[in-house]
Amino acid sequence: GQQLNQSPQSMFIQEGEDVSMNCTSSSIFNTWLWYKQDPGEGPVLLIALYKAGELTSNGRLTAQFGITRKDSFLNISASIPSDVGIYFCAGQGNMLTFGGGTRLMVKP
Amino acid sequence: ETGVTQTPRHLVMGMTNKKSLKCEQHLGHNAMYWYKQSAKKPLELMFVYNFKEQTENNSVPSRFSPECPNSSHLFLHLHTLQPEDSALYLCASSQRGLAGVPRPDNEQFFGPGTRLTVL
């Protein structure tokens, strides 16, 4: 089946630093999605990407859909403590396939 | 608030118990999903319902039994579970095309989950 490789698995950074995480796949996806999950909650959609090469921003978040449609990255600029959580990429084919998540920890 | 609610938020049950998880979506979507989230594992899709019809069953054991009485409600009936079934169970909903085919804007919206512990 389809698999998404998400890296890094975890990050521990200083407040104010920029963050970058990415996902790669052996399969092509029509849509890439990035979700954030806070402790004890369900994932919340951050950014949706629909076209190869598309670059989309949402506040301090920027995500890009790779040209090959097999990868995507998410950047967070000037991190703050509330950015703490688990970030998931997901590729939309017939079903959503999720990456393993990147756990982000921010030190004030 | 994502428009998807789940109850209960926490559930502890014995292996011989029967319980049900409930999900309700207030978004007017026509597709609903059950996912299992275990520690250190990617989200696992369990069941998919399009227009109240089950279209996906990802090799889920029969001790999990879904029910979708209408497009706004989804249940997961549990019986004779095992300790390894302890996990966060997430419900999601989305809007799919008439043929059940995903549309570019059919992002899934998740509920807060039910934290299940099987003793």
Sign of CA dihedral B39, B43, B45, B49: positive
Spatial distance between the Cα atoms of B58 and B47, rounded to a whole number of angstroms? 6
Distance from CA of B84 to the nearest CA of A (A): 19
CA atoms within 13 A of residue B100's CA, in its CB half-sphere: 12
**pLDDT value, residue A93:** 78
Cβ <8 Å between A96 and B90: no
Angle ∠(A56,B34,B111) on CA atoms, nearest 5:
60
**pLDDT value, residue B103:** 58
Q: How confident is residue A77, by pLDDT bands cut at 50, 70 and 90?
A: very high
Tens-place pLDDT, residues A5-20: 999 999 999 999 999 9
* E strands in chain A: 4-7, 10-14, 19-25, 31-37, 44-49, 55-58, 61-65, 71-76, 85-92, 96-98, 102-107
Residue with tokens 């991190």: A79
Beta bridge partners of B96: B102
Tokens at residue B46, please? 């369990």
Tokens at residue A11, please? 């990050």
**pLDDT value, residue B41:** 79
DSSP state letters, B82-97: -GGG-EEEEEEEE-B-
**Chain A within 8 Å of B5 (Cβ-Cβ)?**
no
On the 0-12 / 13-18 / 19+ scale of CB atoms within 10 A, A82 is: exposed
Suggest the residue from B43, B54, B105 to mutate for an interface test with chain A (most A CBs closer than 10 A).
B43
pLDDT tops 70 at residue B99:
no
Cβ <8 Å between A45 and B45: no
pLDDT tops 90 at residue A71:
yes
Tens-place pLDDT, residues B51-96: 777 777 778 999 999 999 998 999 999 999 999 999 999 999 998 7
Considering only residues B67 and B100, tell me which one the structure prediction assigns the higher pLDDT: B67
Question: Mean pLDDT of all residues in chain A?
Answer: 92
B contacts of A88 (beta carbons < 8 Å): 43
Indicate left, alpha or beta for B90 from its phi (over 0: left) and psi (-120 to 50: alpha). beta
**pLDDT value, residue B104:** 54
Distance from CA of B99 to the nearest CA of A (A): 12
DSSP H/E element including B28: none
Tokens at residue A90, please? 């997901």
